[in-house]
Amino acid sequence: MTFSRRHFLTLSAAASFAAAAPSFAFAQQAIPIYAEDGIAIDGTDAVAYFTEGAPVAGSAEFTFDWQGATWRFSTAENRDTFAADPTAYAPQYGGYCAYAIADSGALVSTTPEAWSIVDGKLYLNYSNRIQRRWERDIAGYIAAGDAKWPEIIAE
């Protein structure tokens, strides 16, 4: 069988797409979300961390289902903002303790009051005491957490 240049280019393009397909599928993979009783991040409004600079309780009136969890918001506007781009507002590491992810790769619950926004990303921690430990080397813990997170979600 002979291949023309056109066939070769078509096959090359198909092979490139096939090689990229697994990484695309990975990007669309569901991630574990910290959600007690199916409610993400203890019902706290994820958008409010960015707009109010504080944890604000969400309401059962304003919800959005994403990544297998129900997210609550204090206003319809915050719900709609989150729905338009959940990854921009959802906490890193699925809302699990950022320090625990970085330190041991463990999925540990968080408290809404132990939080920080770093480079436009929300990070939550287990407690205020752990938050203070996290603050000693935020950049180092983010680097370690980012390295461990793909292994955690692959399990």
Domain parsing of the chain, residue ranges: 32-86, 91-155
Task: At 20, list the tokens.
Answer: 């990229």
Average pLDDT value for the chain: 86
**What are the tens digits of pLDDT across the range 84-93?**
999 999 999 9
Cβ-contact 69, 41 below 8 angstroms: no
Task: At 37, list the tokens.
Answer: 């009783």
14-18, 76-80, 144-148: lowest mean pLDDT where?
14-18
pLDDT at 5: 37
18-22, 116-120, 134-138: lowest mean pLDDT where?
18-22
- Please name every residue paired with 59 in a beta bridge, in sequence order, or none if there are none: 73
pLDDT at 29: 59
11: confidence class by pLDDT, cuts 50, 70, 90: very low
Q: How many helices (H) and strands (E) does the chain have?
A: 7, 6
Alpha-helical regions (H) of the chain: 5-27, 46-51, 76-84, 86-89, 98-104, 128-135, 138-154
Residues of the chain with pLDDT > 70, as a percent, come to: 81
Q: Which of 114, 96, 138, 140 is nearest to 49 (CA)?
A: 114
Q: Is the pTM of this model over 0.95?
A: no
- Please name every residue paired with 8 in a beta bridge, in sequence order, or none if there are none: none
Q: Which of 91, 48, 58 is nearest to 99 (CA)?
A: 91
**What are the tens digits of pLDDT across the range 35-73?**
999 999 999 999 999 999 999 999 999 999 999 999 999
120: confidence class by pLDDT, cuts 50, 70, 90: very high
SS3 content of the chain, % helix, strand, coil (to 5): 50, 20, 25
| The dihedral sign for the CA sequence 76, 127, 125, 53 | positive
